[in-house]
């Protein structure tokens, strides 16, 4: 079912498109400027984690075991890829 084209829905779409997306791009490019493109690219792996947290905190969604395993896998994978740059050993 399509939403009606009212002033409120158009304003909400513009707010999401301009403000939220604009803030996201600004933050991303600021991060690139501060820490470089290599580390900044890893922020995209955390989008599902942030979505899970937002759903739980804002919408009271239940977090199940498979989601927790996914979060651990994401964090573990990012750590394993970056451990050489963070001072660990590189093989």
Domain boundaries, the chain: 1-35, 37-91
pLDDT for the residue 41: 87
Two structure tokens written together for 13: 């779409």
Q: What is the mean pLDDT of residues 52-66?
A: 95
Is 29:22 a contact under the CB 8 Å cutoff? no
Q: What is the pLDDT of residues 70-91, one digit of tens each?
A: 999 999 999 998 887 766 555 5
Is the predicted pLDDT of residue 33 greater than 70, yes or no?
yes
Q: How confident is the model at residue 65 (pLDDT cuts 50, 70, 90)?
A: very high
Tokens of 39: 């580390």
pLDDT of residue 90: 54
CA distance 37 to 86: 15
């Amino acid at each position: 079912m399509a939403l009606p084209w009212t002033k409120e829905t158009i304003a909400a779409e513009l707010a999401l498109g301009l403000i939220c997306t604009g803030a996201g791009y600004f933050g991303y490019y600021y991060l690139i400027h501060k820490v470089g493109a290599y580390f900044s690219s890893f922020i995209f792996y955390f989008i599902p984690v942030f979505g899970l947290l937002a759903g739980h905190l804002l919408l009271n969604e239940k977090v199940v075991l498979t989601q927790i395993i996914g979060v651990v896998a994401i964090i573990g994978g990012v750590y394993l890829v970056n451990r050489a740059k963070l001072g660990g050993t590189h093989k």
